[in-house]
Copies of this chain bind each other. A is one copy, B any other.
Amino acid sequence: MPSAIGASVAPDTQKRVPDSRREILDAAAKLFLEKGYGDTSLRELAARVGMKAGSLYYHFTSKEQLAIEVLRIGVDTVAQTVRARIEEAGPVTTPAERVSIAIHAHLEALLLKSEYTSAHIRCFPYTPLAVQEELRAVRRAYEDIWARLIDDLLGPDRVEAEARYLRLAVLGALNWSLEWFDPKRDDAGDYAKALEQVILRA
C-alpha cells in the first residue's frame, strides 16, 4: 500500500524532520540582535533550541562560523527583497520611483521581515575581524545596489562625493530606525513615506 503511505506523507512534506540547523540560526539571529555577538553565549543559544552547548558543534564548526552564516543571510535577505521589489515594478520606472521602492523594501526587510537583517546591521561592527572579512563581498554588493540607485537619481552631472554622502545619509536614516522603531507606535510604511519625501526634493 504505497499510495496510503504517500498520502500520509503529503500533508507535512516540507518539514517532517525538525530542521535543527535552521532553528539554531533563527535563535542565533534573535540573540545576536538583542545582545550583540560577544554577549551571546552558546549555552544560552543552545538552551533556546532545547539543546546543550556542545551539540551546536554538530551543526557548526565554531561560533564565528555561525555568526558568518547568520549575518550573511541578513544581507542576502535585504538585498533580494530590494532587488525583487524593483524587478516587480517593471522596466519602465523613473529613478525617483526606484529609490522610493528601495526605501520601502529596505525598511520592510529590516523592521518587519528578517531578524537576520537587523542582527547584521546591529552587531556587525563588534564581530571578530575574521567575520567582517568574510562578509565584505556581500556587503559591498548591497552597497553597490544603492550606489546605482543614487547615481541614477542624481543624473549624469552629479558630483561623486556628494552622491556618496547622500547614499550614506539615506542608509543611515534607514538603518538607525532599528534603534527607535516600536511596532506598537510606529509604522514602517509611514516612515518610508516621510523619508522618501525628504530625499526626493533634491
Interface size, chain A (Cβ < 8 Å):
32
Q: Is the CB of B197 within 8 A of A168?
A: no
- A130-179 contacts to B (CB < 8 Å): 161-162, 165-166, 168-177, 179
Is residue A198 within 8 Å, beta carbon to beta carbon, of the partner chain?
yes
A contact face: mostly helix, strand, loop, or mixed: helix
Residue in B169, B171, B201 whose beta carbon sits within 8 Å of that of A201 in the complex: B201
Q: Is the CB of B180 within 8 A of A176?
A: no
Q: Is the CB of A172 within 8 A of B165?
A: no
A191 to B168 CA separation, bound complex (whole angstroms): 10
A162 to B125 CA separation, bound complex (whole angstroms): 31
A194 to B199 CA separation, bound complex (whole angstroms): 12
Is residue A19 within 8 Å, beta carbon to beta carbon, of the partner chain?
no
A170 to B173 CA separation, bound complex (whole angstroms): 7
Q: Which has the most chain B C-beta neighbours within 10 Å: A122, A125, A165, A177?
A: A165
Is residue A10 within 8 Å, beta carbon to beta carbon, of the partner chain?
no
